[in-house]
Amino acid sequence: MSVSPVDPATLAEAEAEAETRTGGDRPGTAGRFVGRSPGQLARARLRRDRTGLVSGGMLVFFVLVALAVPLIEWAYGIGPREQFQSRLDGFGMPLGYAGGVTGEHWFGLEPGLGRDIFIRLVHGLRTSLFIAVAAAVITAAIGVVLGTVAGYLGGWLDAVVNWVTDLTLAMPFLIIALALIPTLALRFYGQRDEVPAGFQIGVLIAIFALFGWTSTARLVRGQVIALREREFVDAARASGAGLGHMLFRQLLPNLWAPILVSFSLAVPAYITSEAALSFIGVGLTDATPSFGRMIYRSLDYLQTDPAYVFFPGITIFALVFAFNLFGDALRDALDPKSSR
Amino acid sequence: MDSPQAAPSGPPAVGPAVPGQRVDDEPYLRVDDLRVRFATADGVVRAVDGVSFTVRRGRTLGIVGESGSGKSVTSLAVLGLHDPRRSTVSGTITLGGRQLVGLPEKQVRRLRGRDVAMIFQDPLSALHPYYTVGRQIAEAYRVHHPRVGRRAARARAVELLDRVGIPQPARRHDQYPHEFSGGMRQRAMIAMALVNDPALVIADEPTTALDVTVQAQILDLLADLQAEFRTAIVLITHDLGVVAQVADDVLVMYAGRVVERGSVAQVLRRPQHPYTWGLLSSVPSLHGDADADLVPIPGNPPSLIHLPSGCAFHPRCRYADRTGDRARTQVPQLGPAGADGHLVACHLPPDARTRLAAGSPSERRMP
Amino acid sequence: MSVVEPLLRVRGLTKHFPVRTGFRSAGLVRAVDGLDFEVRPGETLGLVGESGCGKTTTGRMLVRLLEPTAGTIEFAGRDITHARRRALRPLRQDLQIIFQDPYASLNPRHTVGRIVAMPLQVNGIDPPGGVKQRVRELLELVGLNPEHYNRYPHEFSGGQRQRIGIARALALRPKLIVADEPVSALDVSIQAQVVNLLRDLQRDLGLAFVFIAHDLAVVRHFCQRVAVMYLGRIVEIGDRDDIYRSPRHPYTRALLSAIPDVGTLGPAGRIRLTGEVPTPLDPPSGCRFRTRCPKAREVCAREEPALVVHDGGRQATACHFPETGPLTLSRADAVGPGGAAVVGVADAAPPGDGADRVDGNAGEVAR
């Protein structure tokens, strides 16, 4: 193949275009011929979005705090189960202003038991984030696998996946969670035994995973069906590509956008669900610090010690809000045509 | 600059050729220095930049250009369909004596559909899927004839469906768009456009989505209807063959500007602009030597955000260096090119252009 | 026909799509119904017809994207009609496809280098000099800057994207390429660039092509042999010059005369077909074209005409009453694709070939 019917004018034009593009957009950066991938473009759009930037910054902060819990505990010098009865008055209410906020106890103390709210909040943040992220990862994985396979292969497999999806959606989440969680605990640990925190967390993640995969599966299936009709898929098939190449090389790179968006919107949903389950008493117990338990306990003191409900309330609100805003910003950046 | 009286010297054209029919001397549509700009995240898009033309009743103007040349944006401006929040439209558009640009939306809406109607490329997306075709046509009629009753409107819709050649119009009246074939849908769209006897019809690529045998039927239908109703037609297309068949006058657009304008015979037979030469030589033909290579225009159409300096066509023009620096530095203005009413925007000296135009394609190709 | 063994031999190729309404089968769409044709090495066969004639389905069956319902496809002497993926692998390298839509046919998340290298990667081929070197060669071969290796499809124009698709099809050094409307989504000037590129590649690399198109003018410039399809059947097949000069099937004649030609100003005396293509769900009995044919008689409804060479013709025609004599398209004032080439003498130009020859050295431009 030595003969090359190159049109010099086309070449020259393409080069001129390359110059105007790189020159026009961001002068001087990246080599002359380094293109910008769709991912890079999305990142650039995200950087221009102020809401996305602020909410993203907040998320990074929350995640860093959750990761640094042992470090914080060491620096703060107080454990989540330490009780400071000496700082409570005769009625079990914390001494001082705003629920006992001092230089030593930044967010004050719990009425009754006298535990430090700040360190419990930090621990609760870690528990909640861990449960939510783990559940979101598992649901995304299940959803992506089932959605891709069902969408790409179609036929009876698609019918089965669809049927199971419909079945799962028809099951009432709250009722099953209420029934299942205590039953499981009873089955494995009996009436008397202390149920370990790891078991409770595991059960919560499993329950979320059981119910949460349907939306991702449906989303991915729809995307795959749309992609399947695109000619680049045919081009790969015409070259003899196997199933693995089709799914992982051709389809998956085009699915990252919806997967990321649904992931970033699933996490806050799980955070609130976990809080709700812990609140009604089927999630975590008091031994494991969590948002739901803290808010549940604080409700008794809404009148007498409003600061107690304020800190966990504002944190969970900020966390969920930041996640939702970031998810929206991510969607705008990844798929600029969807909005506006 | 403009000379609407200049009757083109071409062969008898579709509309006014009908014997005994009077042709208005006053153009029905007059567009002067039309500019349309869109603000986007990447910069300002000059979609249309100083476009002027006129159309008389009973005549067809073909607007030719490639994608991004501004031909569709021009037609949407005439209909007042640009969103004022995202675009700026300036210049004057006079429709039957009324100035359109700057008119309140309410009054523009009253003109739209009654005095000027539009035929789109894709009738399926232009027709509403949940209403019967007949109902949509009748609805379009009643909007501008509020005192007409349901029954009369229905009769009018059936009449129009019959007129555009749809068999069994009364039965077809009650069918939905998806029950129509592509060609029938386009006929229904034409019926809807004509229901209020508009003086001007804008057809944006009306036959591009159709097969050639059906396209031929639709073009014949448009010509028939024009002869009957003396409609002024603005036909937007990329297909020079369609223009040759139905247009009286031609406007060639490139990167938002008019590069050449004249009667169909002038533009297609004695083209004066290098871009028009390029278009004509790149169209494969049914005649001539089939083994010869086509002569394409090198390069790609420019981005409307970063337009080349001077003449927007100069990076693709084979003769740009014959004008010295002017092609790169000055925007060429539309000026007379020999024959009466034939205008061209090119820096090439008239005698050089005539020599090139008269020469063989091979000579034109080698500067 | 020839002593050369055909590269591709198709016998009785058929594709029926079942239509279901709910659980019940509501019939069959007879998209392709018994095709016979051959392609010799280095030959270009044009497959033309209107939408719904089955040309795209045929192309997809040839590269085994669709499973044929009946018939055989023989490639280089081997029956590949129902070959499995693994058995097909060595043949994949010889048989590639180019798609219509330059936007949908490239994976938006892959770099150009990855797209072009995909067939090599999938087939585990490591060319001498490495994959990267091969991709650079390919990009250069199709007229793209080899340094654009790391760019993404969205950074290219439609014409450039189509070149990327062509480079991908060439990666395995195929012997036959199925090109499914490769230029119909492109602007006129870009279309000519791509047609010239394909012609050069075909000549230089000795490729055979099955060129699927609805535009008969483009097919005339690219193909040595032409097959005209109507409703899932070939109605006429033969050498290009025979088909275009003296078509014998009434459908071929109507199709050719329906194309609006730049060279013919004003409405031409055309053969007008009435109606549209019937649904392939329930094709007419006997000759499928009879419902629109001006010459249809009683026998046409009863007997299906065979695709045979009739007296006085060289091409095979499936018609009971084939036409004779050359097709005269009204072109008293025709000009060639050179456009202005015959200024002044246009009206005196004889209807022969000489008047509108495009200069032979047009190839220069593309080199």
pLDDT of residue A294: 81
* Candidates B299, B303, B305; nearest CB to A10: B299
Tokens of A40: 């890079």
The domains of chain A, with CATH numbers, are 47-334 (1.10.3720.10)
**Which CATH number covers residue C74?**
3.40.50.300
Q: What is the pLDDT of residue C333?
A: 40
Residue with tokens 């000009």: C335
Confidence of residue B99 (pLDDT cuts 50, 70, 90): confident
Question: Residue B258 pairs with which residues in a beta bridge?
Answer: B253
Contact across the interface for C220 and B284, Cβ inside 8 Å:
yes
Average pLDDT of span A193-205: 80
Greater model confidence, A270 or A100: A270
Please tell me which of the candidates B239, B276, B293 has its beta carbon nearest to residue C366: B293
A32-41, A245-254, B5-14, B54-63, range with the lowest pLDDT: B5-14
Please determine, for residue A34, whether its predicted confidence score (pLDDT) is greater than 60. Answer: no
How do the domains of chain B map onto residue ranges? Answer: 123-197, 269-365
| Residue C171 confidence (pLDDT) | 92
- The answer, yes or no, to whether residue B236 has pLDDT greater than 90, is yes
Taking CA–CA distances from B301, the nearest residue in chain A reads A13
Cα dist from B39 to B43, B44, B45, B66, C99, whole Å? 6, 5, 6, 22, 34
Q: Comparing A232-241, B99-108, C126-135, which segment has the lowest mean pLDDT?
A: B99-108
**Mutation choice for A interface testing from C116, C145, C205 by most A CBs within 10 A:** C145
Bridge partners of residue A109, in order along the sequence: A116
- What's the number of domains chain C is made of? 1
Residues in chain A with CB shorter than 8 Å from the CB of B274 are: none
Tens digit of each residue's pLDDT (9 = 90 or more) over C3-47: 678 999 999 999 998 887 666 667 888 889 999 999 999 999 999
Residues A27-35 have a mean pLDDT of 39
What's the pLDDT tens digit per position in B129-161? Answer: 888 999 999 988 988 888 888 889 999 999 989
A154 has pLDDT over 90: no
Q: What is the mean pLDDT of chain A?
A: 78
Q: For residues C54 and C280, is the Cβ–Cβ distance under 8 A?
A: yes
Quick check: B23 pLDDT over 80? no
A29-38, B2-11, B232-241: lowest mean pLDDT where?
Answer: B2-11
* pLDDT score recorded for residue C21: 65
Does residue C148 fall inside a structural domain?
A: no
Mean predicted confidence (pLDDT) in C288-305 = 88
Cβ of residue A81 closer than 8 Å to a chain C Cβ: no
Testing the interface with C: which of A2, A7, A224 to mutate, by most C Cβ within 10 A? A7
Does residue B128 register a pLDDT over 70?
yes
Answer whether residue A7 shows pLDDT above 50: no
> Could you tell me the pLDDT band of residue A289, with boundaries at 50, 70 and 90?
confident
pLDDT at C365 over 80: no
Tell me: pLDDT of A172 over 60.
Answer: yes
Q: Please, which chains are in contact with C (at least 3 CB pairs closer than 8 A)?
A: A, B
Test the B interface: residue of A11, A13, A22, A339 with most B CBs within 10 Å: A13
Quote the percentage of chain C above a pLDDT of 70. Answer: 86
| Option in B298, B305, B306 nearest A9 (CB) | B298
Is residue C363 included in any domain, yes or no? no
pLDDT at position C342 is 32
**pLDDT for the residue numbered A1:** 33
Confidence at residue A339, expressed as pLDDT on a 0 to 100 scale: 41
DSSP code of residue C40: -
Asked whether the predicted pLDDT for residue C341 surpasses 50, the reply is no
Q: Quick one: average pLDDT of B41-66?
A: 89
Cα–Cα distance measured from residue C175 to residue B57, given in angstroms and rounded to the nearest whole number: 57
pLDDT score of B17 more than 80:
no
User: Number of Cβ pairs closer than 8 Å across B and C?
Assistant: 230
**C283 touches C231 (CB < 8 A):** yes
Tens of pLDDT, residues C153-181: 888 888 899 999 999 999 989 999 999 99
What is the domain extent for residue C261? Answer: 1-20+27-94+174-327
**The pLDDT of residue B120 is above 90:** no
Can you give the pLDDT at residue A139? 92
pLDDT at A197 over 90: no
Domain-located, residue C341: no
> Which pLDDT band holds residue C90 (cuts at 50, 70, 90)?
confident
As a three-state string, the secondary structure of chain A is CCCCCCCHHHHHHHHHHHHHHHHHHCCCCCCCCCCCCHHHHHHHHHHHCHHHHHHHHHHHHHHHHHHCHHHHHHHHCCCCCCECHHHECCCCCECCCCCCCCCCCCCCECCCCCEEHHHHHHHHHHHHHHHHHHHHHHHHHHHHHHHHHHHHHCHHHHHHHHHHHHHHHHCCHHHHHHHHHHHHHHHHHCCCCCCCHHHHHHHHHHHHHHHHHHHHHHHHHHHHHHHHCCHHHHHHHHCCCCHHHHHHHHHHHHCHHHHHHHHHHHHHHHHHHHHHHHHCCCCCCCCCCCHHHHHHHHHHHCCCCHHHHHHHHHHHHHHHHHHHHHHHHHHHHHCCCCCC
Chain B residue with CA closest to C361: the answer is B362
pLDDT of residue B365 exceeding 70, the answer is: no
- Residue C82 pLDDT greater than 50, yes or no: yes
Test A24 with B306 for CB contact under 8 angstroms. yes
Q: Give the distance from residue C64's alpha carbon to the nearest chain A alpha carbon, in angstroms.
A: 7
Residue C143 in contact with residue C61, Cβ under 8 Å? no
Asked if the model's pLDDT at residue A314 lies above 80, the reply is: yes
- What pLDDT does C22 receive? 60
To probe the interface with B, which of C53, C148, C262, C357 has the most B CB atoms within 10 Å? C262
Nearest Cα to Cα of residue B272 among B205, B322, B347? B347
pTM beyond 0.90, yes or no = no
Decide if A26 touches C, using CB distance below 8 A.
Answer: no
Average pLDDT, chain C: 82
Least confident among A283-287, B266-270, B329-333, C202-206? A283-287
Reported ipTM:
0.81
Q: Which residues, in sequence order, are CB contacts of B259 under 8 Å at separation 6+?
A: B252, B253, B273, B275, B276, B313, B344, B345, B346
3-state DSSP assignment of residue C78: strand
pLDDT at res. C60: 92
Q: How confident is the model at residue B3 (pLDDT cuts 50, 70, 90)?
A: very low
Give B54-76 pLDDT, tens digit per residue. 999 999 999 998 888 888 889 88
Look at residue A4 in the predicted model and tell me its pLDDT.
37
Please tell me the distance from the alpha carbon of residue A21 to that of residue A30, in angstroms, as a whole number: 12
Classify residue C105: in a domain, yes or no. no
A35 shares contact with chain C (CB less than 8 Å): yes
B259 vs chain A: nearest CA distance in angstroms?
Answer: 21
Q: Which of A298, A273, A272, A293 is nearest to A281 (CA)?
A: A293
Please, which pLDDT band fits residue A17 given cuts at 50, 70 and 90?
A: very low
Distance from CA of A333 to the nearest CA of B (A): 13
pLDDT at A337: 55
As a whole number, mean pLDDT of residues C268-275 equals 74
